[in-house]
Structure 1
Amino acid sequence: MSRPPGPDTDTDTAERLRQALGPVTVTRDTALGGGFANSTRLLELADGRRLVLKTAPPESAPALTYERGLLGTEALFHRLAARAGVRVPAVLHHEPAGPRAPAEWLLLSHLDGTTWDAARDRISPADRAALRRELGESLARIAAVTGPAHGYPRPAAGLSAPDWPTAFTAMLHAVLGDARRFGVALPAPDGVLADLPRRFGRRLAEVRRPALVHFDAWEGNVVLGRTGDDRWHLAGLIDGERAFFGDPLAELVGLDPFGAAEDDPDLMAGYRSVAPLPALGPGARTRLALYRVHLALVMRVEAVPRAYDGGFATWLDTWSTGRVAEQLAVLDALAPEA
């Protein structure tokens, strides 16, 4: 939905822009879809700039534990990724909730282009292969960034630790706690799921460095542009609000929640052209299965606070049940080696 051109669209927006940029005039204010955690608007200014304003919901709104302080995480991710040479929106201003702001908000530059999922049917196989290599290169540069601790970076979430096994345990247990809080039926016994980090702790402990992980780099969060010869290229990554520090292998799960990105030769070639990735032996395959269980649980549980309904909610329940069962079977098969 777009508001007509005119002076600053509302007092809150005008004040936020004044804090960040000084006096400016908004000529168009358009609500952007596709997000669930935050309100997102495209602001077009009289000087030609296009900005994105993201506003968090009230702190009383239902949300998963890890979603506390998401916009602060996004601001941190974009700043760190930009320093690593990855194309991301520029952070113009971030304001936590407090006396100056009833809700947390974030102002970003806008990445021009189209998202990969919107352009999918227009991308040739050759361009797709090249794009997957570019994406792999960008993810490797992101993973080269080292955080101060493992887990989610914002203190509000309370999900960080000095080592990866402890952080991942907290992350998984938080989702299980969210399931109980929202009355979500789990696809496997709570005790079986809660015990996974202990059962496979030796494999989690193989991760020593807290690497930056976007964890949501699916095609809807990858922006594409066209070159002068009409070829597609990677214009940048958006929506870094789910980022954490931990195992760089987790990136392969977040960018393809329904498949196995490690089987994509172009993506892996692009990644390995920038940085090494652990060989996909028993340890790596064990951790990938753990992260797939975790992500399937997140997607299942978040359906309640996001109020999914209808066919998609039914499909998500069915899919997540199958995905968790599939990955638990993988873990059982790997257990003698773990």
Structure 2
Amino acid sequence: MADTALQSPPPGPDDDADTATDDLAAERLRHVLGPVAVVRDTVLGGGFYNSARLLELADGRRLVLKTAPRASAVALTHEQGLLDTEALFHRLAARAGAHVPTVLHHEPVGPGNPAEWLLLTYLDGTTWDAARDRITPADHAALRRRLGESMARIATVTGPVYGYPRPASGLSGPDWPSAFTAMLHAVLADAIRFDVALPAPAALLADLPVRFGRQLAEVRRPALVHFDAWEGNVVLGRTGTGAWHLSGLIDGERAFFGDPLAELVGLDPLGSAEEDPDFMAGYRSLGPGPVIDTGARARLALYRVYLALIMRVECAPRAYDGELTAWRDTWSAEYVTRQLAALDALEA
């Protein structure tokens, strides 16, 4: 990385804001670690909700400071205490043997702290999506197997309830049908709140958990689900030009407790992980793994509808640019239509 200090711009109106942010990051580090020297502070891109900064310390440590929007910021119903959820996910996943960042501190919203923040260790490497063009077919197959194994480890964790882990959200329940119904109905209500047109009649979408309640009831254990393990949240590493390896999984802020099959949907939002023999071989290397029968296919279609609705509705409160919003509108309409057709066929 070039030394930008030698090419710094002339003083401008944003300098005070940048200095204030740096001072806040240093203050939070001192709060957790005591006196430390930050030699480099870099804004990390790629996130869609929380902000993140890479803090490189004089003693060689590299940490990530994540900060949520202010509690008063507009957001989807399930977007409450996301950094609290991320801290919980990383702690539970680490105990299960998955490679994830270590949680150093989580600070919730409180007096004098209008936005929660989280301090984590940094996973060295690059995200899978950034390295995609440099991965050989053999490395790709091996990585998918390792990813499947990692997801199987995470799925061994059993939560105390079904749904999102924060009781205040109201998106949890004593069984999976009730929890998933609350989750789906919440994003439908968000569409009304943010005046987002749905890709299918609201009543039809709201009725899906009733139509397929028997299939949802086949889930008998609230497994830990990351639900956002796409290639941008998977970190890879390599030595020189050697083979790539799986460094770990990041950004567990969307996690919930429910059907482990839902992990396949978040992992491949545009594909079908259940049809990937390498991923499924890795998943089943730790046990029998999921059986993709008629009930499982119905549930996968339901989770794909849910994720597509989230990706469509969140464009409004986040004020995404017109091109991204238009793409998501078109994609989600076609995607939901396909999933509804698949559900109709399965029901028949």
When normalised by structure 1's length, the TM-score is: 0.96
How do 1:264-283 and structure 2 match up within 5 A? 264-283=276-295
Q: Please state how far the C-alpha of 1:313 moved relative to its aligned partner.
A: 1.5
| Deviations, residues 209-263 of structure 1 (Å, cap 9, x unaligned) | 0000010110000000114771000000000000000000000000010111111
- In the alignment, which of 28, 36, 53 is matched to residue 24 of structure 1? 36
**CA 208–314 in structure 1, closer or farther in 2 if over 3 Å, else same:** same
- In the alignment, which of 120, 131, 140 is matched to residue 152 of structure 2? 140
- In the alignment, which of 210, 219, 235 is matched to residue 207 of structure 1? 219
**CA 120–325 in structure 1, closer or farther in 2 if over 3 Å, else same:** same
- In the alignment, which of 316, 320, 344 is matched to residue 332 of structure 1? 344
Partner of residue 300, structure 1: 312
- Provide the rounded CA distance (Å) in 2 between the counterparts of 1:105 and 1:244: 20
How do 1:181-200 and structure 2 match up within 5 A? 181-200=193-212
**CA 307–3 in structure 1, closer or farther in 2 if over 3 Å, else same:** farther
How do 1:76-225 and structure 2 match up within 5 A? 76-225=88-237
Q: Which residue identity is paired with 2:302? A: L
**Runs of 4+ in structure 1 over 6 Å off:** none
Partner of residue 249, structure 2: 237
Partner of residue 333, structure 2: 321
Q: Say if 2:46 is the partner of 1:34.
A: yes
Q: Please state how far the C-alpha of 1:155 moved relative to its aligned partner.
A: 2.6
SS of equivalent to 1:67: coil
When normalised by structure 2's length, the TM-score is: 0.93
Q: Which residue identity is paired with 1:225? A: G
| Deviations, residues 126-169 of structure 1 (Å, cap 9, x unaligned) | 00000000000000000000000000002342211110000000
Q: Which residue identity is paired with 2:50? A: N
Matched residue count: 335
Q: Please state how far the C-alpha of 1:183 moved relative to its aligned partner.
A: 0.3
Structure 2 runs not aligned, ≥5 long: 7-18
Q: Which residue identity is paired with 1:239? A: D
In the alignment, is the contact (CA less than 8 A) between 2:71 and 2:114 conserved in 1?
no
Q: Please state how far the C-alpha of 1:4 moved relative to its aligned partner.
A: 5.0
- In the alignment, which of 48, 58, 61 is matched to residue 46 of structure 1? 58
- Provide the rounded CA distance (Å) in 2 between the counterparts of 1:320 and 1:32: 28
SS of equivalent to 2:237: strand
In the alignment, is the contact (CA less than 8 A) between 1:3 and 1:29 conserved in 2?
no
Partner of residue 9, structure 2: none
Structure 1 runs not aligned, ≥5 long: none
In the alignment, is the contact (CA less than 8 A) between 1:8 and 1:27 conserved in 2?
no
Q: Say if 2:297 is the partner of 1:285.
A: yes
SS of equivalent to 1:34: coil
Q: Which residue identity is paired with 1:43? A: L
In the alignment, is the contact (CA less than 8 A) between 2:185 and 2:206 conserved in 1?
yes
SS of equivalent to 2:56: strand
- Between the two proteins, what is the percent identity of the paired residues? 76
In the alignment, is the contact (CA less than 8 A) between 1:8 and 1:26 conserved in 2?
no
RMSD of the alignment, in Å?
A: 1.8
- Provide the rounded CA distance (Å) in 2 between the counterparts of 1:28 and 1:83: 31
